[in-house]
């Protein structure tokens, strides 16, 4: 798995913001947040950010990992995107602006960015980060204090992203919010949640709702049929991310990275370029063959690529990673 690094300008901006807070206060806010985070999820992910230290702690503790997950999902969407790249972005429940930084890394031409967020401290923090961005699109992003549970207006945008937000909404209001988000997506709507059974359950339900509303799934699924995932399993992916110093101190571990697990769905109004399957587990690379666990158009299946049958397909299969699409030309 290739490690993801947050962009240098974002890292510098984060370092500058975090340096403004006495390190002991930041460390204790981060420990408290990580405990709340662990004990509250997956039941209800509300984080209760009550102070500037809490917001900074959230950014220090979670932003690199959520950046990595959103980035990874968007890379898969990028590979399925047909036509002009997106130029406009609507990021809802934007927090410190994580999704816009990830989206701008994938689509540098993004130029019109609108971020909706309820928490004014988050907005202030995110704006201070964005001021230090290299990309003019990020520096020019507009932030709007908005509660997604009230009526809100926004023009349709090429790309709409809700990262780690659905689990913070009351269950009975989620469907209506998802409908509204879909109505604002001129190109694609991307929903990302933690890669837990609860996070996946939200994604699966949203996927079903969106397909019923006429959406096509661009990623990760190779079809729009009912999700074939078995009851005791959940569709999720993982992105390795380098830990920050503070992160390591808080987690008390020595590892310089962590694997952020996430579930996601990206839907669109355009047709889906065909793929032969999505790799759902780390591929098993054995002597002379690669075994892939796939979600394929016909359902879940194992796919074995043998060197003796097709050298080229074998070489390509050896490079596939968990989460990648198996393209028709990669199949035997
Ligand atoms: C876990 S954070 C995720 C932030 C960001 N999307 C990311 O991936 O890092 C969830 C964010 O959603 C915001 N949020 C929760 N409920 C909301 C609502 N009803 N309206 C607007 N924002 C909301 C929270 O304030 C918080 O900033």
CA dihedral (226, 232, 235, 241) in degrees, to 10, reads 170
Confidence of residue 43 (pLDDT cuts 50, 70, 90): very low
What digits encode the pLDDT tens for the residues 270-308? Answer: 899 999 999 999 999 999 999 999 999 999 999 999 999
Complete domains list, the chain, with CATH: 8-268 (3.40.50.150), 277-330 (no CATH)
What digits encode the pLDDT tens for the residues 176-191? Answer: 999 999 999 999 999 9
Please tell me the distance from the alpha carbon of residue 292 to that of residue 304, in angstroms, as a whole number: 6
* End-to-end alpha carbon distance in the chain: 24
Stated as kind and residue range, the H or E segment containing 288 is none
Q: Whose CA is nearest to atom 23 of ligand 1?
A: 93
Residue-averaged pLDDT of the chain: 92
Mean pLDDT confidence for 17-46:
74
Mean pLDDT confidence for 6-13:
94
Provide residues with CB under 6 Å of ligand 1.
63, 66, 93-95, 98-99, 117-119, 122, 146-149, 163-165, 168-169
Q: Which class for 84: exposed (0-12), middle (13-18), buried (19 or more C-beta within 10 A)?
A: exposed
Location of structure tokens 């669109």: 268
Q: Whose CA is nearest to atom 27 of ligand 1?
A: 95
Contact 189, 157 (CB under 8 A): no
Pocket residue to mutate for ligand 1, from 93, 100, 264, most atoms within 8 A of Cβ: 93
Contact 163, 99 (CB under 8 A): yes
Please tell me the distance from the alpha carbon of residue 219 to that of residue 197, in angstroms, as a whole number: 19
What is the distance in A from the centroid of ligand 1 to the CA of 116?
9
What is the distance in A from the centroid of ligand 1 to the CA of 144?
13
Q: Which atom of ligand 1 is nearest to the CA of 122?
A: 27
């Amino acid at each position: 798995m290739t490690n993801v690094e947050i962009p240098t300008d974002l890292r510098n901006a984060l370092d500058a913001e975090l340096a403004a807070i006495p390190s002991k206060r930041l460390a204790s806010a981060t420990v408290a947040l990580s405990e709340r985070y662990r004990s509250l999820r997956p039941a209800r992910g509300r984080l209760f950010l009550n102070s500037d230290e809490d917001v900074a702690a959230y950014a220090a503790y979670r932003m690199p990992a959520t950046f990595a997950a959103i980035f990874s999902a968007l890379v898969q969407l990028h590979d399925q995107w047909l036509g002009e790249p997106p130029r406009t972005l609507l990021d809802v429940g934007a927090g410190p602006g994580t999704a816009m930084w990830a989206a701008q890394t994938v689509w540098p031409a993004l130029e019109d960015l609108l971020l909706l967020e309820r928490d004014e401290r988050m907005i202030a923090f995110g704006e201070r980060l964005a001021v230090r961005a290299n990309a003019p699109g990020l520096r020019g992003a507009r932030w709007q204090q908005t509660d997604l549970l009230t009526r809100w207006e926004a023009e349709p945008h090429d790309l709409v992203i809700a990262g780690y937000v659905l689990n913070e909404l009351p269950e009975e209001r989620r469907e209506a919010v998802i409908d509204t988000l879909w109505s604002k997506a001129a190109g694609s709507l991307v929903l990302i949640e933690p890669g837990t059974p609860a996070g996946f359950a939200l994604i699966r339900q949203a996927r079903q709702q969106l397909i019923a509303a006429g959406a096509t799934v661009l990623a990760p699924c190779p079809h729009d049929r009912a999700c074939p995932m078995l009851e005791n399993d959940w569709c999720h992916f993982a992105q390795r991310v380098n830990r920050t110093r503070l992160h390591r101190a808080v987690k008390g571990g020595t590892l310089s990275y962590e694997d952020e697990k996430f579930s996601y769905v990206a839907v669109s109004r355009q047709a889906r370029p065909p793929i032969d399957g999505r790799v759902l587990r780390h591929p098993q690379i054995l002597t002379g063959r690669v075994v892939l666990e796939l979600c394929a158009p016909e359902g879940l299946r194992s796919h074995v690529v043998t060197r003796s049958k097709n050298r080229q397909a074998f070489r390509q299969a050896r490079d596939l990673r968990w989460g990648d699409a198996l393209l028709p030309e990669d199949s035997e």
